[in-house]
Amino acid sequence: MDEKIMVNDILAGVKSDLLAYQTAISESENMQLRQTFQQIRNNDESFQYELFKIAQSKGYYVPAQKATVTEVNTVKTEMSN
């Protein structure tokens, strides 16, 4: 299997896991369990970011064009209302 495919597959899997952890955190009444899920999520977020940086440096991932200041301000305004 090609390295690019493996990296993108892992990134997709971690993204899915992060969504599952978020759901588990928001539905956990037990504080100890909630904190455990938060710690796992935080570790996965760090891992995802490090892998993303590697993928980007190798050209496996090209981010979308950066938003303009006007676009950012429009979203901020919409989210504030």
Whole-prediction pTM: 0.73
pLDDT at res. 70: 94
Asked if 55 and 7 touch (Cβ cutoff 8 Å), the reply is yes
Q: How confident is the model at residue 30 (pLDDT cuts 50, 70, 90)?
A: very high
Q: Which residue has the tokens 């971690």?
A: 14
Strands, E, within the chain: which ranges? none
Asked if 21 and 37 touch (Cβ cutoff 8 Å), the reply is yes
Number of structural domains in the chain: 1
Q: Tell me what percent of the residues of the chain surpass a pLDDT of 70.
A: 100
Domain residues for 35? 3-80
